[in-house]
Amino acid sequence: MTWQADILTLFPEMFPGPLGCSLAGRALEKEIWACKAHDLRPFGRGVHKALDDAPFGGGAGMVMRPDVLDEALTSVIAGGNRPVIYPTPRGRRLEQKDITRFVQGDGVVILCGRFEGVDERVLEKHAVEQFCMGDFVLSGGEIPALALLDGCVRLLPGVMGSAKSGEDESFSAGLLEYPQYTRPAEWEGRAVPPVLLSGHHGDIARWRYEESIAATRTRRPDLWGAYEQQQ
């Protein structure tokens, strides 16, 4: 079954964008996954197809209307059983375990917000999952949507050359990935760690594990704390 991604956006021309290249692009051609961007503008109200209105309680900016988004969402999710995702700074941080869960289903529906965001009531009605890509703000949800989809598509069966390619990556086991090296064995006076040239798989595995621990403790103490609690 083709893994289906439906994106509701004011800028459908942004999709598939970079996902039409490389691994994701080849998978798109092979119909391992499908990407359909739905223009929100036709669902707007009035002569000018308005999608937003001023926020109750005052404040800067405009808010996307619940009736508009409800109609758009209903047209896409009818008869389906896929999670509806809304990228927003107010969401919890997107993690690899979320990506893995999405991949195991039939696909995703992504609502890309703009302006000051969307009316909370439509998020409640459709049990929308809200995710944040990091502690920073973007102009809309399209770039986070592309990032989320890239994370999902690469894990679909048949996309990566080896099914094991995703097993030792950062976050897959709660740790950052170990450093990588390739030819030449010495470059500008910098040598590859001798253990990687030893051919001893046990020693190599140990070295990689220790390097993953060191990187996680130094660069992501939050991940390291969570990892320690699970041990």
Instruction: State pLDDT tens for residues 152-197.
Output: 999 999 999 765 666 667 787 899 999 999 999 999 999 999 999 9
Q: What is the pLDDT of residue 231?
A: 87
Q: What is the pLDDT of residue 170?
A: 73
User: How many C-beta neighbours within 10 Å does residue 69 have?
Assistant: 25
Q: What is the spatial distance between Cα 86 and Cα 120, in angstroms, rounded to a whole number? A: 11
Angle at 55 between CA 49 and CA 59, to 5 degrees: 130
Q: What is the pLDDT of residue 161?
A: 76
* Topology match between the domains 3-153 and 168-230: no
Which pair of tokens denotes residue 198?
């030893």
List the domain boundaries for the chain: 3-153, 168-230
pLDDT > 90 in the chain, percent: 91
Q: What is the pLDDT of residue 214?
A: 97
Cβ pair 216, 227 in contact under 8 A:
yes
| Assigned CATH class of 3-153 | alpha beta
Q: What is the pLDDT of residue 190?
A: 97
Phi/psi at 213 (nearest 5 deg)?
-65, -45
Residues whose CB is less than 8 angstroms from the CB of residue 32 and which lie 6 or more positions away in sequence, other chains included: 2, 3, 153, 156, 157, 158, 159
Low-confidence ranges of the chain (pLDDT < 70): 162-168
Tell me yes or no: is domain 168-230 CATH 1.10.1130.10: no
Three-class SS state of 45: strand
